[in-house]
């Protein structure tokens, strides 16, 4: 395979964070040659454990795929060391997967620089119970009690000033809006809602084209490094 676009003769395996499931399933419904293997979003909180689990799914996908795509950015070095041993491994040139939801790394960079203390929420984040309030209630409170759970979570978020809900158009917005506003109110942040600029990045993950300015294409046996992203 020498081109950068998948066709229906290529068996494409996408290894992705489950937070992207609403968007990826929306765009891939017409592409039966593409399979997606999902990992829990909670791995982002333990990036040292992420690479081994991503690698395990890459190895699983390698049994049947012609090419493998990662649905991850660098993610706090969580994919460093990951290798496709037999296939080309395609990796987005992104530090953070929020760029997928906003349409491009450039849009994400500009948005974040306008509000450095921003905590982003998406349909998958809320749907999977990974918003701050649900994490506090479902994970922290049973372990530590309500008062300590509140203190821990507020400490974790003390540098954030805004909750931004990204409406990607793939889920009913009202329940998402309600939960996002509850988060903003509880943690004393300003609530903002923005539309995802498009699903184009998710389309590119599923079918390409994997342009060189947007994706790394690693040869079989070549590992992801942090240095790749520093340029």
pLDDT in tens, 111-136: 889 998 999 999 999 998 999 999 99
Specify whether the CB–CB gap between 229 and 93 falls below 8 A: yes
How deeply is 218 buried, as exposed, middle or buried, from its count of CB atoms within 10 A (0-12, 13-18, 19+)? Answer: buried
Looking at the chain, how many residues does it have?
231
How far CA 114 is from CA of 61, 97, 162, in Å, comes to 39, 18, 11
Q: Which of 2-6, 8-12, 182-186, 198-202: highest mean pLDDT?
A: 182-186
Would the pLDDT of 2 be above 70? no
Domain limits of the chain? 12-95+199-230, 105-195
CA 17 to chain centre: 5
Query: What is the reported pLDDT for 3?
Result: 45
- Give the pTM: 0.86
């Amino acid at each position: 395979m020498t081109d950068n676009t998948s066709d229906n003769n290529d068996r494409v395996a996408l290894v992705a964070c489950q937070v992207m499931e609403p968007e990826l399933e929306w765009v891939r419904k017409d592409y039966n040659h593409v399979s997606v293997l999902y990992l829990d979003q909670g791995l982002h909180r333990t990036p040292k454990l992420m690479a081994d689990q991503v690698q395990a799914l890459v190895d699983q996908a390698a049994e049947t795929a012609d090419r493998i795509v990662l649905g991850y950015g660098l993610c706090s070095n969580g994919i460093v060391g990951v290798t496709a041993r037999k296939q080309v491994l395609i990796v987005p040139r992104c530090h953070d997967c929020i760029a997928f939801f906003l349409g491009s790394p450039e849009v994400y960079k500009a948005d974040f620089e306008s509000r450095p203390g921003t905590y982003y929420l998406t349909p998958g984040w809320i749907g999977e119970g990974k918003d701050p309030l649900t994490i506090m209630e479902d994970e922290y409170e049973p372990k530590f009690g309500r008062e300590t759970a509140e203190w821990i979570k507020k400490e974790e978020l003390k540098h954030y000033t805004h909750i931004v809900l990204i409406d990607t158009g793939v889920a009913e917005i009202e329940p998402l809006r309600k939960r996002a506003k509850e988060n903003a109110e509880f943690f004393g942040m300003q609530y903002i809602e923005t539309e995802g600029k498009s699903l184009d990045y998710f389309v590119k993950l599923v079918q390409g084209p994997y342009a060189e300015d947007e994706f790394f294409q690693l040869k079989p046996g070549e590992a992801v490094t942090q240095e790749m992203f520093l340029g």
